Amino acid sequence: MNHPRWGLMSPSLLLTLVMLPSLPIASRDTGAQSTTGKHDAARIARTAWMRDAKWGISMHYIREQIDPRRRLAPAQWNERVENFDVETLAEQVKASGAGYFLITLSQCGGYFLSPNATYDEILGRNKQTTWFPKRDLILDLGKALKKRSIPMIVYLAVEPPIRGDGEAVGVLRPIGQKHSRDGHVISSDEGWRIFAAHWERVVREYSLRWGDLVSGWWFDGCWFGQLSYKNAPNWDSFLTAAKSGNKKAVVSFNHAYIKLRNLPPPQEDFISGEVRHPNRSFVTGPFQDRVVQNHVFSALGSNFGTGNEPRFRDDQLRTIADNFTEQGCLFTWDVPFESDGTLKTAFLQPLKLFDAQVRDRSSRYEQWKARTGGRVVPAGNLAYKRRARLVSRPKDARGGGPDQTSTLLPAGRHIDVAGNGIDGDMNTRAQASNQWSWKFFVDLLREENCSRVRIQFHRDNYPTHFIVRAGNDRKVWRELFQSDAGDGSPVEIRFEASDIRFVEVEAVKPDGPNQKGTQMGITELEVYAE
């Protein structure tokens, strides 16, 4: 996460992120064999608390955000750290309903939230020349959060302070310098290995000091293959250092898979998950590679650590909550802060709204699992949990696809969203607002060879005249069925097998008040291959 840019996340870390129609977060393929057995079970067990927590808050309290022009002296940074209000922040996190808190220890600016004697020893600095604050802010914050039963995750870049402390970079990663032993010029590869050994020591000191106050680590900047070696320092030895104070701590590496040197990826516990547009993506399950906890990390403000108001509307926040946390995926919102380390008040109510949606959706999901045993009802439905939209119907034109039209707001309560028409639950429905006649549009995300569509309309809200169409990737549409005698009964349409990606149901009537059927509501749309 090298701010202010987005997009350094490798697509293989999570999913292919695209403009609407969105694609699901799918398992990555690194070419390495996934492990099996007790080790897998242990990793899944380590992240169980995260699935219970469901979502959390992050804060990028770093020099790069506070002092982008690099004018802040170490003494001024020390003053900021001293004035950081951990108790008020911890109360805000508790009030939001968040299940954990992620705090940045440092990124690449040379300033940290806690001192480290090992770091100063490596650089040859003392109490007079150190850049560290006197206060161990992470320790104090961890205690404040623990009093409220809120786990803490610590963020740290696995990079030297390239954006603020050139002296430290030269010592920690001495690429191009003459080696003190025999005078040879240190290569890029050797320089990174020297850095990795130093950084292990720095992380180990922090981990041992904080112990179980730290429930997890989120390591950034692992792009350079600096840990992909068979022998230490490598991924395994770095993990050992990070977990030296708490062996149960979960760990994530924000990295690319292009520099693994034909070695397996690190044994991380959860995905780093950095995503710019969470409203344009969703997940299909709690794990990747069968054992790694799914996680999405995005900014609620204009960017990480910045912004004066949320960039998502309430309805978008509810949809994001549904698309991720219902499937067992962890979600972290980065929230802008005040100078005293408290969250900006403009974000507090949206966070509570997000939490309410997460808890409500989770409760209804558990009820659905209790009724169905968690099975897709019935099995084989290709439309289940894909993409759906509520689309307006132009009065002067007909035809397939949503491109010519606008997406509608859901009707009445926020739970009547498009996804309810493909959620396998007959107790929910998709129903639009503001127009009597409208279209329900479903994207299967890829072409599927299909021969059957089944539609269950709501018992009190159904179309009397409707058209069902199907389209392929080339947006060639054909009409599958049309009826002007709809009475709310289930409709099953069989046709010659063909490649289909899109299905839409267009309600022609009712098209005004006081008409039979009132307005189309779709309880479930199902698509099958047979």
Query: Where is pLDDT greater, at 37 or 212?
Result: 212
Residue-wise pLDDT tens digits, 174-188: 999 988 888 999 998
pLDDT at 262: 81
At 86, which helix (H) or strand (E)?
helix 86-96
State the pairing for strand pair 438-457/477-483.
unpaired
Whose tokens are 């959706």? That residue is 361
% of the chain with per-residue pLDDT over 70: 83
pLDDT at 135 over 50: yes
Residues 295-322, mean pLDDT to the nearest whole number = 92
Kindly report the pTM of this predicted structure. 0.71
* 3-class DSSP assignment, residue 155: strand
d(CA 450, CA 473) in angstroms, rounded, equals 14
Residue-wise pLDDT tens digits, 79-116: 999 999 999 999 999 999 999 999 999 999 999 999 99
pLDDT at 66: 87
Phi, psi for residue 455 in degrees, rounded to 5: -125, 130
Residues 234-263, mean pLDDT to the nearest whole number = 90
- By the 10 Å C-beta count (0-12 exposed, 13-18 middle, 19+ buried), 326 is classed as buried
CA proximity to 453, closest of 432, 481, 472: 481
Other CB atoms closer than 10 Å to residue 252's CB: what's the count? 26
Residues 6+ apart with CB under 8 A from 118: 201, 202, 204, 205
pLDDT at 498: 93
pLDDT at 15: 29
Phi, psi for residue 427 in degrees, rounded to 5: -95, 0
CB 149 within 8 A of CB 100: no
pLDDT at 39: 76
Residue 224 banded pLDDT, cuts 50, 70, 90: confident
d(CA 482, CA 472) in angstroms, rounded, equals 19
pLDDT at 457: 92
pLDDT at 21 over 60: no
Residue type, 78: N
pLDDT at 26: 35
3-state secondary structure 358-406: HHHHHHHHHHHHHHHCCCCCCCCCCCCCCEEEEEECCCCCCCCCCCCCC
Q: Which two tokens stand for residue 167?
A: 């002296």
d(CA 413, CA 160) in angstroms, rounded, equals 50
Q: Sheet containing 152-157: give its strands across.
A: 250-255, 216-222, 152-157, 101-106, 55-59, 330-334, 295-299
pLDDT at 391: 84
Residue 67 banded pLDDT, cuts 50, 70, 90: confident
Residues 10-25, mean pLDDT to the nearest whole number = 30
pLDDT at 11 over 60: no
Q: To the nearest 5 percent, what fractions of the chain are helix, strand and coil?
A: 30, 25, 45
pLDDT at 19 over 50: no
3-state secondary structure 91-118: HHHHHHCCCCEEEEEECCCCCCCCCCHH
pLDDT at 160 over 80: yes
Query: Where is pLDDT greater, at 312 or 398?
Result: 312
Residues 6+ apart with CB under 8 A from 24: 15, 281, 282, 283, 284, 386, 445
* 3-class DSSP assignment, residue 247: coil
CB 331 within 8 A of CB 281: no
Angle at 155 between CA 154 and CA 160, to 5 degrees: 130
Residue-wise pLDDT tens digits, 436-486: 888 999 999 889 999 999 999 988 889 999 999 999 877 789 999 999 999
d(CA 414, CA 324) in angstroms, rounded, equals 17
pLDDT at 59: 98
Residues 6+ apart with CB under 8 A from 374: none
* 3-class DSSP assignment, residue 418: helix
Residue 323 banded pLDDT, cuts 50, 70, 90: confident
Which parts of 122-249 are beta strand (E)? 152-157, 216-222
Residue-wise pLDDT tens digits, 274-298: 988 887 666 656 877 778 899 999 9
CA proximity to 7, closest of 335, 275, 331: 275
CB 33 within 8 A of CB 264: yes
pLDDT at 416 over 60: no
pLDDT at 6 over 80: no
State the pairing for strand pair 465-471/491-509.
antiparallel
Q: Which two tokens stand for residue 467?
A: 């058209």
pLDDT at 410: 43
Query: Where is pLDDT greater, at 46 or 414?
Result: 46
